Amino acid sequence: MAQMNRKNELLIRAYLVMAVFVAVALVVVLRLFNVSVVEGDEWRELGGKYVKWQPVKADRGNIYAEDGSLLAASEMIFDIRMDPTVSTDYSFERGIDSLCILITKHLNANKTPSEWKKRLVDARQGWKKHKKKGSKSIPIAKNLTFEQIDKARKFPLFRKGRNSGGIIIDKTSRRGKPYKEMASRTIGVDRQNASKIGLEGAFDTFLKGKEEKRLERLVDRGVWIPVFDPSEFETQRGADLYTTIDVEVQDIVHNELLSMVLHQEAEAACAVVMDVETGGIKAISNLSKLKSGGYAEIYNHAVGTSSEPGSTAKLFTALALLEGSNIDLKDRVEVSGGRKKFYDLWMEDSHRHGRNMLNFLEVIEESSNVGIASFALKHFKGLEGKKKYVSYLEQFGLTDKTHIEIAGEPMPLVKHPVKDKAKWSGTTLPWMAHGYESSMTPLQILKFYNGIANNGRLMKPYLVKEISHEAEILREIKPKVEVSAMASKSNIETLQYMLESVVESGTGKGLKSDIVKIAGKTGTARVNYTKKEERKKYNASFAGYFPVDAPKYSMIVMFYDPKKGYYGGSVAGPVFKNIAEKIYQVKGDLLDPVREQYAELQNKKMPNKHSGYASDYAKLINHIDLDVEVNSKSRWVDIAPERNKLTIDKKKIKGDQVPNVIGMGLRDAVYILENVGLDVKIEGVGKVKKQSIKPGAKVSGQQIEIYLN
Amino acid sequence: MSTAIQLYRNLKGDKAIWLIFFVLSLFSVLIVYSASGSEAYKWHGGNTEYFLIKQLILLILGMFTTYVCYQLNYIHYSNIAPVLMIIIVPLLLYTGIFGDEINDSRRWLTIPFINNTFQPSDIAKVALILYVARSLAIRQEYIKDFKGAFLPIIMPVVLVCGLIAPSDFSTAALLFVTCLLMMFIGRVSLKYVALLVFMGLVLLSILVMLGTWEVTADYFRLDTWISRLQGNDVWQVNQSKIAIANGEWIGEGPGNSFQRNILPFAYADFIYAIICEEYGLIGGVFIIAMFLWLLFRCINIVTRCPKAFGAILAMGLCLNIVIQAFANVAVSVDLVPVTGLTLPLISSGGTSLIFTCMSIGIILSVSKYVEQAELEQIELSKIESDAANH
């Protein structure tokens, strides 16, 4: 019976509990109904007002010089705002004093701690009393680095995060050019509301990365903050560009051009240096006169300004003559003192030579307009002759664009006797022969001279050699041969000889250098010859290559309307010479064709022990002619010197162990360490000298410091 | 499918509880997959399968646990209980001092070798309920006694809840209420139950005082609590209400939640709001009905169970699940402040799912033996009546 009573008591109590739960369930369902149906419209409307998707630009990729120096990079900058209303009274009061002291000390000293405190407390209390009197968004500091943000996150209140500490971090990026003005027009500008120019524009699709959307919520009138911590929000970073630009060469070119353009007070000037073998552009400078008087990179003349080339074009005609006739360097022509009438127009030589007869070589050496025009008329007779002449120009790659990567290159203007019949007159051929009635950009002219230097192999000029995203190469741009033989080998050699003679004994005598042997051609082009009443304006240029024995670089220097002289030889020539000499001094080892010297050097001193990315070493080792024993085809290798040879072994990297990065370059070391999941902190520059965690230790996401020297 | 039905037919114990278990598990996979969409994208590079696979693996492990616990005769749990208690107390102490801190709270322990964190408080819940059920059952003869019955029952409850409370107040409070209800059902004198309610309130005030005291404030995570009570989670709760309102009657459809992008811990704390957004009011009511039905079935076990231990045990385990479910739902519909409690069986919460499955398994074990006992009873009475007839 007691058993029965107990059971009943237990059951009654259980039913009571059940009843309570049924009641609670009913309340919940009613509440649910209320929210979903009764108040439904209000909530749904509020939902739309509260949040919005905001596009977020990805971090833009970097632009690098050939050696990995940064030409353009985006640095992350952060702004901090504070919402002083979200924290509890308790934690706000406990943290506000030390927070304000830290803000003044580390973030923004424009206000004293007590001023900060007043500002934040006023905003907080104002908001609590009446929303309009306070604010949920107080700017704290702008343009902070990641390190500063990292520190700020540990401040009292801020360390409680956005929802209970009130810290709001906005991330933006700023595009910086570490080399400032150097090549800046070619590197380009990433503009928001105008078309992007230079490489920034040409490779925008790669550089810009993937745009993402993030949710932002409204906290105050017009104040939107991201729902999730923006520093944790990942967008896919843009790819990096590796250009052919050589920072050392660029530096020389820029400074030499600048000093001459200042002296000459020219309207503008440009200079381009090209790697003979590949067509890669090593340096490109464009200086234009500003209204304020100084000079700056504001227009890419080398790529975009097409003008009558003047005397540098005589070499086009010379090569055409060599290819298309049996002309000999000793063939003579009547120049009648440098003044002769062609049809109804007088032609004059710009250099006074006072001779009546010149041979073919002398015509080039003395840059005789009359001479080259007469030869052209003599050898390209009739319509067939003219067609032949133009077809040679086409064969030399002079009738097409260079198709350099950046935008704004005009088509060269080369008349055709049939297609442009209306524009073709009796004077066209003689004038075209010495660089008029046609129009080209400096780069288009340089392409031809580079071809001559490269023994007739015409290379496509290019600026970008690799596009890569993190460690992955997206596109590798190899040097491109446009025409494998512009002309016969012997004719190219003759032309090279002519160019050497110009510097040896012709109009380019001023370029004779004790340091480096230069070959090239002066160019002096009258610009405004149709306007007789104006002051005579000229473009002065020099195009050529060096060193003559084994050409490594070709270059063009162009001055637009120089004021203190107008000859190519005296205005552009000195700049060419100075640049060539300085490059030669800096890059002497590369230019010197005598490889034996290296071997000797290497025998005396073997390279130290290295580790790194195998393909990087492959390039290096190919370059230094050493006995190399390759024991591994692994991607990461250890390199060890052994008496007279190097050995390459597979680098030991285990997934869960801290790898040894001593001896590695920064890029390789960071890549490897981050790949195994370590947080890398870097100190110093150069090669890794020391690492804070011993190799072989277990990886568990800790921070490793590497010290470089 | 037919094999599945075959398997289901072969299962003993309360068929309804099995069904509720399977339906909720299925729901959890669907909803975790959907709700974790945004989080998954954030942390795993768009690998949404990651959460689905993780939840599936946990569920398979969970079902296995349920099956093992269901196979074991529930009488044995009575003997396991004291052993578990001896293990759990030092473990909780250890976690409180040396445990891993996640989200500002020291309630996690990393299991060596498999490198997975788990909350010892999850085992503690099951252990304490087993122990209280045992204590109540063996003291049924003199249950109204203070020294003989009430004190020995309440001491471990206070100890365990006190150890959990600093790091995870919600779970401790929930466990305390569960034990209180078990004692109420287990016929403890109403006087003492009232005393217990009073004690609970005292404990709460002591904690608040400790929390305000600067030395211990950080340890007791008081900021979180003050912020909850001051209503700074209003934004979250409003987002939850927007989700519910978006769902209207029939919902936006599976995988179409928008608010999952906004709600923090959409896959855990606010999963109910996401259910309502995707499956509407109907889906929301369905989930509540499922948990209520589970409670009904357990009451049914209580009415049929011949032994007090089984009845109180099933009731205790079930109450713990149902209270937590209701607490979670109540947060989503803004009836109580944000607690951080997950929706049992449905939220993706790692190891806690395993212990919920353990509870279900034990309940099913009780129901299985209740059925067996009834069958034996029928057989017995049959034999008796046969004997009488002869």
Q: How many CA within 13 A on the CB side of residue A533?
A: 0
Residue A533: DSSP 8-state:
T
Residue indicated by tokens 């401790």: B172
Residue indicated by tokens 């049809």: A343
The DSSP bridge partners found for residue A642 are A645
Helix (H) and strand (E) counts in chain A: 23, 31
Interchain proximity B326–A28, CB inside 8 Å: yes
Mutation pick from A9, A18, A22, A32 vs chain B, by most beta carbons of B within 10 Å, is A32
Task: Flag the least confident range among A287-301, A461-475, B138-152.
Answer: B138-152
d(CA A551, CA A583): 13
CA dihedral A142, A144, A148, A150 (to 10 degrees): 90
d(CA A470, CA A238): 9
Residue B261: DSSP 8-state:
G
Q: Which residue of B has its CA nearest to A37?
A: B248
Chain A residue numbers with beta carbons less than 8 Å from the beta carbon of B333 are 28, 31-32, 35
pLDDT at res. A372: 93
Interchain proximity A10–B186, CB inside 8 Å: yes
To the nearest whole Å, the CA of A54 is away from the closest chain B CA by 13
Q: Is the pLDDT of residue B223 over 60?
A: no
B385 vs A117, residue with greater confidence: A117
Confidence of residue A542 (pLDDT cuts 50, 70, 90): very high
Interchain proximity A33–B281, CB inside 8 Å: yes
Q: Is the pLDDT of residue A76 over 80?
A: no
Q: Hey, how many other C-beta atoms are within 10 angstroms of the C-beta on A20?
A: 11
Chain B residue numbers with beta carbons less than 8 Å from the beta carbon of A212 are none
Query: Which member of B242, B299, B315 has the closest CB to residue A43?
Result: B242
Q: Is the pLDDT of residue B44 over 50?
A: no
pLDDT at res. A432: 92
Q: Hey, how many other C-beta atoms are within 10 angstroms of the C-beta on B266?
A: 28
Chain B residue numbers with beta carbons less than 8 Å from the beta carbon of A39 are 241, 245
Query: Which member of A10, A28, A31 has the closest CB to residue B311?
Result: A10
Chain A residue numbers with beta carbons less than 8 Å from the beta carbon of B189 are none
B169 vs A223, residue with greater confidence: B169
Residues of chain B numbered 347-386 and touching chain A (CB < 8 Å): none
Compute the C-alpha angle A349/A351/A352, nearest 5°.
95
Query: Which member of B185, B292, B326 has the closest CB to residue A14?
Result: B185
pLDDT digits (tens, 9 = 90+) for A413-428: 999 999 888 888 888 9
Q: Which two tokens stand for residue A531?
A: 């306007």
Mean pLDDT of all residues in A675-704: 74
Q: Is the pLDDT of residue B340 over 90?
A: no
Task: Flag the least confident range among A92-101, A217-226, A366-375, A643-652.
Answer: A643-652
To the nearest whole Å, the CA of B68 is away from the closest chain A CA by 28
Confidence of residue A600 (pLDDT cuts 50, 70, 90): very low
Mean pLDDT of all residues in A246-259: 90
Specify the DSSP element, H or E, that contains A557: strand A553-560
A-B Cβ pairs (cutoff 8 Å, strict): 136
pLDDT at res. A491: 93
Confidence of residue A587 (pLDDT cuts 50, 70, 90): confident
Residues of chain B numbered 91-150 and touching chain A (CB < 8 Å): 140
pLDDT cut 90: percent of chain B above it: 8
ipTM given for this complex: 0.85
Confidence of residue B231 (pLDDT cuts 50, 70, 90): very low
pLDDT cut 70: percent of chain A above it: 83
Interchain proximity B302–A31, CB inside 8 Å: no
Chain A residue numbers with beta carbons less than 8 Å from the beta carbon of B261 are 215, 227
For residue A406, the SS3 value is coil
Residues of chain B numbered 229-258 and touching chain A (CB < 8 Å): 230, 232, 235, 238-239, 241-242, 244-249, 258
